[in-house]
Amino acid sequence: MNVLVVGGAGYIGSHMVKRLVEEGHAVWVLDNHSTGGRVALPFGTLVKGDLADAPLLDQLFQAHAFQAVLHFAAHSLVGESVTSPSKYYQNNVVNTLNLLDAMCRHQVSNLIFSSTAAVFGSPNYTPIDEQHPTAPINPYGASKWIVERILQDYANAYGLNSVALRYFNACGADPDVQLGEWHEPETHLIPLVLQTALGKRDAITVFGRDYPTPDGTCIRDYIHVEDLCTAHALALDHLVSGKLSGACAFNLGNGSGFSVQQVVAAAQKVVGQDGYTITIQEGERRAGDPAVLVADARLAQQVLGWRSQYAELQTIIEHAWAWEKKRWLVG
């Protein structure tokens, strides 16, 4: 089928484009290259452009008769969203409305939306299921929550069917080492740790060792990017086949978290096999960091038939390490 992937040159989007092409779909990628790395996307047909460009959207939809859209394009830095909320609401909400309206004009009724655990804010309980109250505490999370609400209204008014997938901590890299994580700036723990081992950063900072967790450091639910792609593929199949309709939302995580200390220790084990070491420095707690964020993904398992294939922390880090070595040492 013909599929449009918005933000398909970014981290998760590029992995999904590869998956779709391998499954035999015809894929067009719309990306403005505002974030992410400088790796040429070797899959799909790339169109450089922006969701703010409504005439371009009409041109794409008229030319290619898309049966579905996957929407990954968003600004996603929590701290920046607090200091520049206008940027986040304009791009993540207003530009998404441009996409939804184009879909409605061209009678494309299937959308997979990249959402986030940030819609929940500070958790009342963990693991976090879909019944947990949504109460985002920053503009980034709020922008995603607003779109989820818009999707409910568009389903009711226009028959637009959607699945919002709420990621917890996306991580890892393509096992074939063709793609991987490359953010500018980088904020994710695993690449920061591995880049420290490679000497690209002086040290990795552990922000607080006095949390109410077994080793005192924060616990997060790390989910391999390939497992996220599997969830997207299943959600797409359920939408196109009519098994799902309306506006649906699923939490995606492994259901068991790893602490910062566990991540650093596992990374040291992996990089140590190549003779590298990781320098650690201690920092104070960061404001707003919950002690534990872990997903309850049973609904995705029950409805979509989704299962994680790469749940082991060492496997996640091994895939990420292979990518970081290729990026920095091979080029």
Torsion sign across C-alpha atoms 297, 302, 305, 309: positive
| CA–CA gap between residue 13 and residue 73 (Å, rounded) | 8
Token reading at 204: 């990795």
Query: Which residues have a catalytic role annotated?
Result: 140
Please answer whether residues 266 and 56 qualify as being in contact, where contact means their C-beta atoms are separated by less than 8 angstroms.
no
Token reading at 35: 């974030």
Give residues with Cβ within 8 angstroms of 117, minimum separation 6: 128, 166, 167, 168, 221, 251, 253, 293, 295
| CA–CA gap between residue 140 and residue 72 (Å, rounded) | 14
Please answer whether residues 314 and 273 qualify as being in contact, where contact means their C-beta atoms are separated by less than 8 angstroms.
no
| CA–CA gap between residue 53 and residue 63 (Å, rounded) | 16
Token reading at 189: 């723990």
Please answer whether residues 267 and 190 qualify as being in contact, where contact means their C-beta atoms are separated by less than 8 angstroms.
yes
